[in-house]
Amino acid sequence: MSKKYENRLEVLQDIADGTPMDEIINSTDKSNTKGFLFEVISIICILMKCLFENYTEISDTNIETTPLIFRPIKSCREILDQKITYGDNKADISVNINGTWVAFSIKYGSTKRKSDLQECKQCLDSSRYDQTYSLGLIYENDDFLTKHRRKGNCEKIAIDIAKKNKLFFNKQDIEKAYSKVQKLLMQQHFTNTEDIIDWIDRIYLETGKKHLSLWFHQEMALQQFIMNNVSLVHCLYHKPRAGKTITMLLYAKYLLEEKEYKRILIMTSIPGTIDSFIDELNKYYEFINIKYKEQETFMDINEDFTGIGFCSVQYLKADNKKDKKEKQLLKQKKKKLKLFDCNIFDECHFHSSNKNTYDTIINIHGDNPIMTIFASGTAGKTEWFYNIDSKYVYKWSVEDEAYMKKIYSKTD
């Protein structure tokens, strides 16, 4: 590829069009231009929250400004609709992470060099942010950074701040983030940069959402489920506090988006946990296209609705035989139940592993049974009651977690 990039937006458009990262960087033989292109790519990865989880604000304020006051951008256009050589700022980009402003220096090249973190630190030390700031560094290769062994060296102190706060990234980290960014952009099928700018502003700058990062056991459980998706019965048997809420939502996402299911019902024996599901749906970008109905609007679900319905198990089984109105309502709920393609029972060891649940909720589809997924940290009773084949029971125990912690320490 031989292309001369004049504007940062041209890089953004090429990413959306599927151009490989190395092809963009190697479009020039000039080392300084390669550095500018690497900087733009890194900033886009930060903007789209693919390099680290989250930020609340992002700023292009020159860090040497006195007095220093970070001004958050209102649109990504402010930093992307610029010349490739745009900069003249020791902090290539600054982000607010949980109330702490982080000044980033981005360096690229195969010659030994200093970062600009020392200068950034000096500016922040003499500003209103002197007690609450951090530093971040993005570099091509650690070998190309000037090495400092003396504890009191100013450059080493600045770099150690970035390392301590895990804001120290190399080219491989950027390549991984680039792949995520490109996948996200290509899924939208953009035809012009104006639409991309509007989308980034709406999705990333205004919502406060972040990208989902899975633990090993969550990814493993998802892959097990995908491999066995032809089965109509599954059991997610993960220890308490292992992120089952996220895993169940990933199961639902897979069925809705990949298997073209229309409606999925998630039931819980502990009504308060419905809020946890809603919180996770609203927190992550990966769930942004999933519509949902809570228990209060359960009766509004119809054939035009596609998404997830939430309710308690008790809501579907409550039956005062002496109350005709309640009996009639229960019949209406049963009709709604038949609209769903899959039932997911959270905390299935409570009120879900019994004949009443089987008769009133599961076994109402006659000769056309639907998929049923059980989830619990103590699912032994469910596994036994429904005689679930061990192949479709996805386990993660306290012992599994302890073994993983032994292999990979918290500092890794």
Q: With residue 381 as reference, give the H or E element that holds it.
A: helix 380-385
Among candidate residues 205, 227, 254, the one where a domain is terminated:
205
Amino acid 151: pLDDT: 66
* 373 and 285 co-located in one domain: yes
* 178 and 227 co-located in one domain: no
Q: Where are the alpha helices (DSSP H) in 21-153?
A: 21-25, 31-47, 77-80, 117-125
Q: Map tokens 């609007």 to a residue.
A: 297
Tokens representing residue 201 in the block: 């502003």
Q: Which of 168, 200, 235, 212 is nearest to 16 (CA)?
A: 200
3-state secondary structure of 52: coil
- Which residues fall within 8 angstroms of residue 149, CB to CB, at 6 or more apart? 156
In whole angstroms, what is the distance from residue 101 CA to residue 131 CA? 11
Q: Which of 252, 227, 234 is nearest to 308 (CA)?
A: 252
Contact, 168 vs 135, CB < 8 A?
Answer: no
* 175 and 226 co-located in one domain: no
* 236 and 281 co-located in one domain: yes
* 350 and 255 co-located in one domain: yes
**What totals of helices (H) and strands (E) does the chain contain, helices first?**
16, 12
Q: Which of 41, 35, 37, 79 is nearest to 60 (CA)?
A: 79
* 230 and 194 co-located in one domain: no
In whole angstroms, what is the distance from residue 201 CA to residue 205 CA? 5
- Which residues fall within 8 angstroms of residue 73, CB to CB, at 6 or more apart? 58, 59, 60, 79, 205
Task: Identify whether 211 is part of a domain.
Answer: no
Mean pLDDT of 149-162: 80
Amino acid 317: pLDDT: 78
Mean pLDDT of 341-370: 91
Tokens representing residue 134 in the block: 């951090």
Backbone angles phi, psi at 188, to 5 degrees: -85, -15
Among candidate residues 175, 205, 235, the one where a domain is terminated:
205
Res 28 pLDDT > 80 = yes
Amino acid 144: pLDDT: 58
Mean pLDDT of 200-222: 89
* 223 and 200 co-located in one domain: no
- Per-residue model confidence as pLDDT tens digits over 56-106: 999 999 999 999 999 999 889 989 999 999 888 999 999 999 999 999 999
* 321 and 401 co-located in one domain: yes
Res 150 pLDDT > 80 = no
Domain count, the chain: 2
In whole angstroms, what is the distance from residue 366 CA to residue 260 CA? 22
Contact, 315 vs 237, CB < 8 A?
Answer: no
Amino acid 249: pLDDT: 98
Length of the chain: 412
The domain containing residue 99 runs over which residues? Answer: 8-205
| Residue 213, Ramachandran bin (φ over 0: left; ψ between -120 and 50: alpha; else beta) | beta
Task: Identify whether 3 is part of a domain.
Answer: no
* 392 and 335 co-located in one domain: yes
Mean per-residue pLDDT of the chain: 90
